[in-house]
Amino acid sequence: MKRKLRVCCRGSLPTRAFVLGVMLLSILSDTATVAGRPAASGQIPEALGPLRLGEVKPEGWLRATLLRDLKTGYAGHLDELLQDPQTKKFLLRPENNDFVTRENNRGCRCDKSGLAMPPALRTWWHGEMIGDWHDGLLRAAFLTGEPRARAKADRFVAAILKSQDEDGYIGIYPKGCRFHFARPDGELWTQRCVLLPLLAYYEFTGREDVLDAVQRAVKLTISQYGHGKRNYFDTPNQRDCGISHGLMYLDVLDWLYRLTGDEAYRRAALSLYDDYNAARNVLVKDGQLEKLLDPTIPFSGHGPDVMGFLRVTLLCHHLSGKRVYWQAWQNAIRKVQRHLGVGGSPLSGHGEEIKAKDQRPDMPYEYCSTFYLEHSLIWALQKTGAARFGDMIERTLFNAAQGARFADGKALTYYSADERLWVRQRPPEGRGNRRFIYTAAFYPSCCHDSGARVYPYAISAMWMRSRGDNGGGLVATLYGPSRVETEVNGTRVTVVEETGYPFSFDVRFSIQAERPVAFPLCLRIPAWSAEPSVTAAGASVTRDERGYLVVSKEWKSGDQVRVQLRPAIRGLRAVDGRTALAYGPLVFCLPIPEKTQIVRRFPPVGPDQIGGFCAYQFDPADLASARRPLKLFAERPGFGFRVVKNKAADPLYPWDRPPLTLRGTMLGAGGRHESVTLLPMGSTLLRRTFFATSK
């Protein structure tokens, strides 16, 4: 009761007056032009342009990891592993593709007012899983060229195109039961989940018929909503997040607008957000403008939704030029900082909701939260150009995301945590959760689908295009072994990036150009690096205000650039005041030796009978030892630790045997000193991450 009153006071007149004031300001705000096409009214140019999918390719360990995930990991074989627990059907296999069969919504009926009623709750789940898993598979297939995954991707796209109705509809609901619902549904969300891989396929292949199919589907959908029509987000009795998820249909609209410049998509995106803002019934309200404009309201909704919604106001700002959206976006990114653990994912409760109260640094987080945060941060990096979003992406990817999967890609956990002594559905202490388990397949597979996407999405965002008065340039937004092949100022250019990053901070770029061409090559300076050293013969090197080194010259084939980033061991303060150690983008943890319990074995899969797929629980081998008192020496350089290179490391599979460790001394029980070795979070299962410091 008390809480309700407080919220009421805070959300009433002052906030509304503030919103109106900012809105008025936004009407008077500046307008701008967008390079390449006439600007729509108020549209603001993005700082960086994404490269076409396929122009950035992984090399070195990134390529090796992606290939192994496809060949022998769950990501390439989830269609052969994941069964619907009720029907026992392998729901990702072509014959069970719900966009084609519409099997799960066969019992859909309409009520008296013509609104559709799905036959049960969550009949949209399979649509999400089918779209999202194929999105990861398809991207990884094209990024590596792995032929079997390519064949699955081709088959999937062909099946979806074949399923398209004459009116353009692509979706999971039968004719007569679409777009407007009387009950919880997943119309917009599942459409988004299947249209994104189609758009990715279009970019990788250039197949215009695929782009046409997506446009027909989207034109049909956006004609159903908008001013004077029924608000999709106000469907009554929302008991799951299917409708809230639908706000991320904006991903499709933004991408189509970028590809085609068709005003209809821009208008539809802004209108969809207006509808979401006006909805009273929608389950997850954290992304509503009024809530975002009040910086004191913490996030509290479903983690993956809130992490996805982060990017909505930034998108609307760029599409409309309205400052009110910019203000809301800035608040959103400030708010999310208060929820993130040191691994870069939001500290959450057992019901997948983000927690603001009583935070502990070892709270769990859903893999989907981790992925959707990464996805929002990629947008933030691209639209604002601010280097700090690159730092945030790498933190999330290399710690929370990598720390929730097996290095060899055989298994992943739905719920992970920055620190944990058990991975067990019913641990002896604390609350249990059936999602605390490492497994090759879990139903629902949302988190496994997210796990299949974190690297493909990050790889395609490693390079972006800058725009300037004197033409375009290239920006190394995230570091890692890669190759970018694109056109810069009318000239074909290839840049090969050789590095063992994030385990090495020495990064070499080799340039090939079909003829000499001048452009700036911008290199992100991570906030954790001291002044980097740069070697680039004949180039001018400056720093820009967004956080990049700008290396400019007329490039010709054979030119080289070398940058050496300079991390130092640093302490990260956890929400309870304890300290975690980091070096570069990596958080380091004390690995806890574990006892392994295999709780399920999956039969071998595929023509090669790939085996080794299991579900696991882990206990500490020695609980007393796992819990022994250990403190960091606060006053010693590097908290008493130094960086030690591991000669036995495998450079192609660095998470299996990490090339970097932190070795040092900690203060144990009775003032005893103890030598310990810390490993990157992404190379540990059970781990201790947070330590008190000695006085």
Residues forming contacts to Zn ion in the complex (CB under 5 A) are 366, 368, 446-447
Cβ partners under 8 Å of residue 268, min gap 6: 218, 222, 225, 226, 253
Q: Quick one: angle between helices 263-278 and 312-320, nearest 10?
A: 130
Q: How far is the CB of 416 from Zn ion (least distance, A)?
A: 11
Nearest to Zn ion of 330, 425 (CB atom): 425
Tell me how far, at minimum, the Cβ of 422 lies from Zn ion, in Å.
Answer: 20
Bond preceding residue 295 cis, omega within 30 of 0: no
Which residue, 197 or 444, is less far from Zn ion as judged by CB? 444
DSSP annotation of 51 reads P
Q: Which is nearer to Zn ion, 125 or 528 (CB)?
A: 125
Q: Which is nearer to Zn ion, 406 or 443 (CB)?
A: 443
Query: Residue 58 or 444: which CB sits closer to Zn ion?
Result: 444
- In whole angstroms, how close is the CB of 198 to Zn ion at the nearest point? 22
Strands 594-601 and 614-620, sheet pairing: antiparallel
Least distance between Zn ion and beta carbon 599 (Å):
20
Distance CA 681, CA 695 (A): 26
Please tell me the distance from the alpha carbon of residue 523 to that of residue 196, in angstroms, as a whole number: 29
> At residue 131, what is the residue type?
G
Smallest distance, Å, CB 341 to Zn ion? 17
CB of 371 to Zn ion, least distance (A): 8
Kindly tell me which of 368 and 393 has the beta carbon lying closer to Zn ion: 368
3-state SS assignment for residue 556? coil
Nearest approach, Cβ of 447 to Zn ion (angstroms)? 4
Q: Which is nearer to Zn ion, 416 or 486 (CB)?
A: 416
Residue 103, phi-psi category: left (phi > 0), alpha (psi -120 to 50), beta (remainder): alpha
- Min dist CB 449 to Zn ion, Å, is 8
- Pick from 312, 177, 341, 324: which is nearest to 253 by CA? 312
* C-beta of 63 vs 448, nearer to Zn ion: 448
Give the residue among 338, 324, 340, 325 at the shortest CA–CA distance from 383: 325
Decide whether 444 or 664 has the Cβ nearer to Zn ion: 444
Q: How far is the CB of 414 from Zn ion (least distance, A)?
A: 6
Tell me the longest C-alpha to C-alpha distance in the chain. 77
Question: Are the CB atoms for 484 and 503 separated by under 8 Å?
Answer: no
**Closer by beta carbon to Zn ion, 49 or else 349:** 349
The pair of structure tokens assigned to 666 is 């900690």
Least gap, CB of 443 to Zn ion (angstroms): 11
Peptide bond into 680 cis (omega under 30): no
Q: How far is the CB of 370 from Zn ion (least distance, A)?
A: 9
Q: Are 82 and 446 in contact (CB under 8 A)?
A: no
**CB-based contact 511:561 (threshold 8 Å):** yes
- Which residues in 550-570 are b (16+ Cβ under 10 Å) and which e? bbbbebeeebebebebebebe
From the list 355, 450, 335, the residue with the least C-alpha distance to 400 is 450
Burial class (CB in 10 A: 0-12, 13-18, 19+), 117: middle
Q: What angle do CA 335, 353, 131 make, to 5 degrees?
A: 100
Closest to Zn ion by CB, 272 or 368: 368
Closer residue to Zn ion (CB): 386 or 441: 441
| Helical axes 187-205 vs 208-222, angle rounded to 10° | 160
Q: H/E/C letters for each residue in 99-142?
A: HHHCHHHCCCEECCCCCEECCCCCCCHHHHHHHHHHHHHHHHHH
- Pick 425 or 494: Cβ nearer Zn ion: 425
Structure tokens at 570: 């640093």
Output the smallest distance, CB 444 to Zn ion, in A.
Answer: 7
Beta carbon of residue 359, minimum distance to Zn ion (angstroms, whole number): 21
